Every structure is written in structure tokens, then in C-alpha cells.
């Protein structure tokens, strides 16, 4: 049973993460190519809360452009991190990520197909991305059942097969896409971006990502039991297969919904849970909340760099890979992998 001193340390860590997250969210609202003074940002936010309409350029930039983008960054970063930590817990492998079952590849194919068929229609593209993301995991689950004695390892292998298949289909779509308009749109979308985010998109994906993420957080105690082994879980009144399937389904919804609105953003669900594990330990009671806040912090920082580093906005997927590699090396250096 954790001591009062340890619980106090955890509360301090959570408080620091919350303060850091809120501070970065506020900084992202007034810092950028169009600088808005902090006092003006506070005034704009208060006006919106009180229902006062402001038609100035600063209000449009802060509320209509930056606010939904910042909220989506936090939502996607937190969701992918929690999904990654959940996958790593149920598969008992720190190298598992949210797209291990092919959901990112499936959603990527759905989006590419939507752009090909509708010449960039966002509604159909988003629906196809989400639908094929769910379909890819369903295919992986079905393939894993071919063997009578299936296991979590079988599911991972089936996910790799499905991922390779949908990546091949993405290449096929690129091959037949128009090189002047459709191919650049597909390529840029697959690299990930939060540009042109709207409150309408948040209204669609918010319940999906938020609801699934909160449910995973509520299941974190059961994940601890699941990590003890199936026999121990049975003895404690938990059906391991049903719980594992529920966690996979929830994490898949988070990942598919994230890819649906922001494209493929790698490394977040792989690196952040491992960094959090070094800070708060492997207990899911503390690991998942820490991953929630740290994932949001990480993606806000990455998105800010994407907006201001160069004249043209850098795709998020490129920056997460650039930042993820040294973080991965650091985690590998100080972890017990391979020992």
C-alpha cells in the first residue's frame, strides 16, 4: 500500500503537469506569427464567456483559429498517450503503440480514398478514415482467431499484417491519384496537421476521444489486475478476454478519431507512456493520468514549433518523429529493456 509521502509526491507531480499544460495552452493563444498581447487574450476569452461579440482580427485569430487548434492538440495528445499506455499494459510490452493493430494505416487508407473520390471533401474523408480505422482492427482481431490457441502475440502479428496491407493500398491510391491536386493533398494529410481546425470538428471528435479516454482512465485499476496474468484476473472476478477486448476497442476509437481529424501522428503513444513510466512507475493508477497530461503538453509544444519554426507550417508527424527518436534513445538508455 503506497505511503502518504508517496501519494503526496504524486499529487505534486500532477499539480506540476496541470500547471504546465494550462500555461502552455495560454501561451499558444497569444504567441505566433500574429502576436496578440496576453491582456488582449484574457479580454477576448472573458468576452466569449460573457457572450460579448468581438469582430476584431485578434478575436478571430484567438478564438476561431487558435482556440480549437489548442484544444484539439490537448485532446489528441492526451488520448494517444493514454491509448498507448493501455496497449502497453494489456500486451505487457513497452514497445507497443496505439497503431500496432493497423488502425493508423487503415484510417490513412480511408482518408486517402476519401480525398481520391471527393477531391478533398472533408466530411466523407473523415467518415472513411474513422470507418476504415475501426475495420482494420476488426480484421486484425478476426485474423488472430484463425489459430485455435490465440494469444495477445497473435493479435499483434495480425495487426502488423493488416497494417502492411493497408499501407500497400495507400500506395495504390497514391499511384492513381491526380499528381497536381489529389496526390499532394493525400501526402500532406498523411504527415499530420492541426491546421484549419474548427469547433465543428471538435464537436464531432470530442465525445469520441474524450469519452473513450475517460473510460480507459476509469479502467486503470483493472489494467493492473490484468497485468498479473489471466489466472490471477479470473480469481479476482475479472474476465481477461472481455476486459482486453474492451480496452482494445476503446483505444482503437481514440486512435481512429485522432487520425480522422489530424492525420497520422506517430511516436506520441509510444514515447510518452514510457517517459511517464520512468517518472511515476508502472502502476496504471498513476501512469495513465500522467500520460494524459504529458501527452497534451508534448503535442502542444510540437504544434507550436510547427507553427512558428518556418514560413510554411511543418507537418506534425515529421516533428513528432524528430523529437521522438532522441526521447526513445533516452528511454532505452535508462530503462531495463534488454537487460
pLDDT at 105: 93
Q: What is the mean pLDDT of the chain?
A: 88
Give the model confidence (pLDDT) of 132-181 as tens digits: 999 999 999 899 888 766 677 888 889 999 999 999 999 999 999 998 88
- Provide long-range contacts, Cβ within 8 A and 24+ apart, for 194-198: 194/69, 194/72, 194/73, 194/76, 194/262, 194/303, 194/306, 194/316, 195/69, 195/313, 197/68, 197/69, 197/72, 197/261, 198/64, 198/68
Confidence of residue 25 (pLDDT cuts 50, 70, 90): very high
Mean pLDDT, to the nearest integer, of 34-46?
Answer: 86
Whether 31 has a pLDDT exceeding 70, the answer reads yes
pLDDT tens track for 210-258: 999 999 999 998 888 887 777 777 777 788 888 888 999 999 999 999 9
Distance of alpha carbon 97 from alpha carbon 88, whole angstroms: 7
Nearest to 111 by CA among 333, 265, 3, 238: 265
Over the range 206-217, which residues count as b (16 or more CB within 10 Å of their CB) and which as e? bebbbebbebbb
Amino acid at each position: 500500500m503506497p505511503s502518504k509521502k508517496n501519494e503526496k509526491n504524486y499529487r505534486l507531480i500532477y499539480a506540476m503537469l496541470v500547471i504546465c499544460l494550462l500555461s502552455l495552452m495560454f501561451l499558444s493563444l497569444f504567441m505566433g506569427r500574429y502576436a496578440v498581447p496576453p491582456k488582449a487574450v484574457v479580454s477576448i476569452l472573458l468576452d466569449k464567456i460573457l457572450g460579448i461579440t468581438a469582430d476584431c482580427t485578434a478575436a478571430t485569430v484567438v478564438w476561431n483559429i487558435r482556440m480549437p487548434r489548442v484544444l484539439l492538440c490537448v485532446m489528441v495528445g492526451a488520448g494517444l498517450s493514454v491509448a498507448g499506455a493501455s496497449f502497453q499494459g494489456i500486451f505487457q510490452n513497452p514497445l507497443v503503440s496505439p497503431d500496432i493493430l493497423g488502425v493508423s494505416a487503415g484510417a490513412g487508407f480511408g482518408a486517402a480514398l476519401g480525398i481520391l473520390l471527393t477531391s478533398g471533401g472533408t466530411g466523407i474523408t473523415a467518415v472513411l478514415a474513422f470507418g476504415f480505422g475501426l475495420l482494420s482492427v476488426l480484421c486484425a482481431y478476426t485474423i488472430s482467431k484463425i489459430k485455435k490457441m490465440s494469444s495477445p502475440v497473435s493479435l499483434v502479428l495480425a495487426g502488423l499484417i493488416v497494417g502492411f496491407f493497408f499501407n500497400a493500398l495507400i500506395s495504390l491510391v497514391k499511384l492513381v491519384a491526380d499528381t497536381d491536386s489529389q496526390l499532394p493533398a493525400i501526402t500532406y494529410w498523411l504527415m499530420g496537421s492541426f491546421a484549419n481546425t474548427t469547433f465543428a470538428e471538435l464537436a464531432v471528435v470530442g465525445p469520441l476521444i474524450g469519452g473513450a479516454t475517460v473510460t480507459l482512465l476509469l479502467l486503470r485499476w483493472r489494467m493492473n489486475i490484468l497485468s498479473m496474468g489471466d489466472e490471477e484476473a479470473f480469481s479476482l472476478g475479472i474476465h481477461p478476454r472481455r476486459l482486453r477486448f474492451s480496452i482494445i476497442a476503446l483505444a482503437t476509437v481514440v486512435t481512429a478519431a485522432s487520425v480522422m481529424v489530424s492525420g497520422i501522428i506517430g511516436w506520441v503513444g509510444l514515447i510518452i507512456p514510457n517517459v511517464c513510466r520512468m517518472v511515476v512507475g508502472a502502476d496504471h493508477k498513476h501512469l495513465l493520468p500522467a500520460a494524459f497530461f504529458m501527452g497534451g503538453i508534448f503535442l502542444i509544444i510540437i504544434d507550436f514549433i510547427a507553427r512558428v519554426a518556418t514560413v510554411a507550417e511543418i507537418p506534425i508527424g515529421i516533428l513528432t518523429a524528430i523529437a521522438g527518436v532522441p526521447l526513445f534513445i533516452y528511454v532505452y538508455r535508462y530503462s531495463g529493456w534488454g537487460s
